[in-house]
Amino acid sequence: MKSEILVIVVTFNGMKWIERCISSVFSSDTPSDLLVIDNGSTDGTVEWLQRHNVEVLSQRSNLGFGAANNIGLRRALEEGYSYVYLLNQDAWVGSDTFRLLTDAMEDGRFGILSPVQLDGSGKKMDRQFAKRCKKYLHEQKDETIVEVPFVMASHWMISRGCLQKVGGFSPAFNMYGEDDNYIDRARWNGYLCGVVPAASAVHDRADRPVNKDQRMFLKCNASVVHVSNPAAWELLRLIGEPLRLVGIGCLHFDGAPFRFIGKLIKRYPELLKLRRKSRRPGAFLIDDKKRR
C-alpha cells in the first residue's frame, strides 16, 4: 500500500554515506516510499541500491540537484503523495523525524519544514544550519514550529499543497541557490518555511569545508537568487545587483564579482522568463501543454 510520504534522494558517487542514509529511511517509525535519482555515479552507488531493492532511476549525466529532484517531485504530484521528503545522500534521519514533521504539517501555514540539522557527530548543529537558523530557534524557543527565512534543502519536508502551487526547482540554478529560490517562491505563494525543534537529523559534511573561491561564488550567485525572486521589484533588482557585485568586489579586493556582472546581465532575459514562469502553479513540473 502506498505511503503518504515519498522520500527522494539524489545520489552522485555517494557510497561513503548511502548505506546509512537509506537504512535510516527504512528504520523510521513512519512508513514511506523511497525513490533514488542517480546522477551518473561510477563508484558502485547504483549497484548497491539495486542489490538492496531500492528503486533507482539512473541518469546518463549529472542533472544537478534541482533537475534530478524534479523527477521525484513530479512523481509525487502524479501519484498523490501527501508529503515529499528531500534527503541528501550525505544525510540521515532519526526514527521519529518523519512522524514529528508530518504532525507539525497539520499547522497548515508551513509548506516547508526541516528538523534541526546536526553535523556528522550527531551531537551539535551543522555549522551552516546554526549560522542560518540558530538565532530564530533561540528567539522562538517556546514555539513548536520556528519560522525561519531559510533552511538548507538537505532535509526538507514539503506539503502537497505547497508542491501543487510552487512546483519544482527552477532550471535557473544548476548547483546552489535553488533552495533559496524555492523558499522565495513558497513565501510568494503564501507558505512559510520552518524548523521543528523536537525533530533532528544529520547532515555529514564536516570534511568538505567551503574554501574562499566557493564562498565568493555563493556571494555572487545570490544575485541570481535576487533577480529570480517573484516578489522582488524587477527594475530595482536589474539595476541594483550589478552595483551590489561592485561593492562586494571592492570590499574583498576580488575580481570575481566584477567578472560575474557580465555573466549576470547576459542571463537577464533567461532569468526574467523563468521568473515569470515560476509564478504559475506547478511551475517546472507541469508541462505547459497540459495547462491548455
Q: Grade residue 210 by pLDDT with cuts at 50, 70 and 90.
A: confident
Look at residue 257 and tell me whether its pLDDT is greater than 60: yes
pLDDT of residue 90: 97
Domain boundaries, the chain: 5-203, 212-277
Strands 192-203 and 110-118: parallel
For the chain, give the secondary structure using H, E and C.
CCCCEEEEEEECCCCCCHHHHHHHHHCCCCCCEEEEEECCCCCCHHHHHHHCCCCEEECCCCCCHHHHHHHHHHHHHHCCCCEEEEEECCEEECCCHHHHHHHHHCCCCEEEEEEEEECCCCCCECHHHHHHHHHHHHHCCCCCCEECCCCCCCEEEEEHHHHHHHCCCCCCCCCCCHHHHHHHHHHHCCCEEEEEEEEEEEECCCCCCCCHHHHHHHHHHHHHHHHHCCCCCHHHHHHHHHHHHHHHHHHHCCCHHHHHHHHHHHHHHHHHHHHHHCCCCCCCCCCHHHHC
pLDDT of residue 286: 84
Q: pLDDT digit string (tens) for 87-107?
A: 999 999 999 999 999 999 999
Q: Which of 53-67, 215-229, 247-261, 277-291 bottoms out in mean pLDDT, i.e. has the lowest?
A: 277-291
pTM reported for the whole predicted model: 0.95
**Domain at 5-203: CATH architecture:** Alpha-Beta Complex (3.90)
Place of cell 574583498: 252
Q: pLDDT digit string (tens) for 150-173?
A: 999 999 999 999 999 999 999 999
pLDDT of residue 292: 43
Q: pLDDT digit string (tens) for 52-61?
A: 999 999 999 9
Look at residue 291 and tell me whether its pLDDT is greater than 60: no
- Give CA–CA dist 94/23, Å, rounded: 10
Q: What is the mean pLDDT of residues 230-251?
A: 96
Q: Which of 161, 132, 151 is nearest to 195 (CA)?
A: 151
Place of cell 529560490: 181
Q: Grade residue 191 by pLDDT with cuts at 50, 70 and 90.
A: very high
- Give CA–CA dist 193/170, Å, rounded: 18
